Structure 1
Amino acid sequence: MTFALETRALEKQFGGLKVTCDLSLGIAPGARHAVIGPNGAGKTTVINLLTGVLKPNAGRILLEGHDITDLPVHTRVRRGLSRTFQINQLYADLTPRETIGLVVSERLGHGGDWWRRLGTRDDVNAEIAENLARFHLLDVMNETTATLPYGKQRLLEIAVAIATKPRVLLLDEPAAGVPEGERHDILSAVAALPRDVTVLLIEHDMDLVFSFADRISVLVNGALLVEGAPDEVARDPRVKAVYLGEAADA
Structure 2
Amino acid sequence: MTAALETIGLEKRFGGLVATDKVSLTLEQGARHALIGPNGAGKTTFVNLLTGVLPANGGKILLGGQDVTGKNQIQRARLGMGRTFQINQLFGAMTPVESLGLAVSERRGAGADFWRRIGTRADIMAEITGLIERFRLTDVMDHPTRLLPYGKQRLLEIALALASKPRVLLLDEPAAGVPEAERGELLETLAELPRDVSILLIEHDMDLVFAFAERITVLVNGALFASGSVAEIMADPRVQAVYLGSSEHA
TM-score range, shorter chain: over 0.9
Which residue in 1 is equivalent to 2:191?
191
Which residue in 1 is equivalent to 2:146?
146
Secondary structure, counterpart of 1:23 in structure 2? strand
TM-score (norm 1): 0.96
Displacement after TM superposition at 1:17 (Å): 1.2
Which residue in 2 is equivalent to 1:172?
172
User: Structure 1 stretches (4+) deviating beyond 3 angstroms?
Assistant: none
Which residue in 2 is equivalent to 1:106?
106
List aligned pairs for 1:1-250, cutoff 5 A: 1-245=1-245
1:69-124 deviation line (CA, Å, top 9, x unaligned): 11111111111110010000011111100000000000000113320132110010
- Give, in whole Å, the separation in 2 of the partners of 1:116 and 1:91: 19
- Give, in whole Å, the separation in 1 of the partners of 2:131 and 2:20: 35
- Give, in whole Å, the separation in 2 of the partners of 1:96 and 1:83: 18
1:148-169 deviation line (CA, Å, top 9, x unaligned): 1111100000000011111111
Structure 2, gaps ≥5 residues long: none
- Give, in whole Å, the separation in 2 of the partners of 1:112 and 1:189: 30
Displacement after TM superposition at 1:14 (Å): 1.3
Displacement after TM superposition at 1:15 (Å): 1.8
Structure 1, gaps ≥5 residues long: none
- Which deviates the most, 105-114 or 185-194? 105-114
1:163-194 deviation line (CA, Å, top 9, x unaligned): 11111111001111100111111111111100
TM-score (norm 2): 0.96
Secondary structure, counterpart of 1:20 in structure 2? strand
Secondary structure, counterpart of 1:44 in structure 2? helix
1:180-237 deviation line (CA, Å, top 9, x unaligned): 1111111111111001110100000111111111110000001001000000011111
Q: Is the 8 A contact 1:118 1:124 kept in 2?
A: no
Give the number of aligned pairs.
246
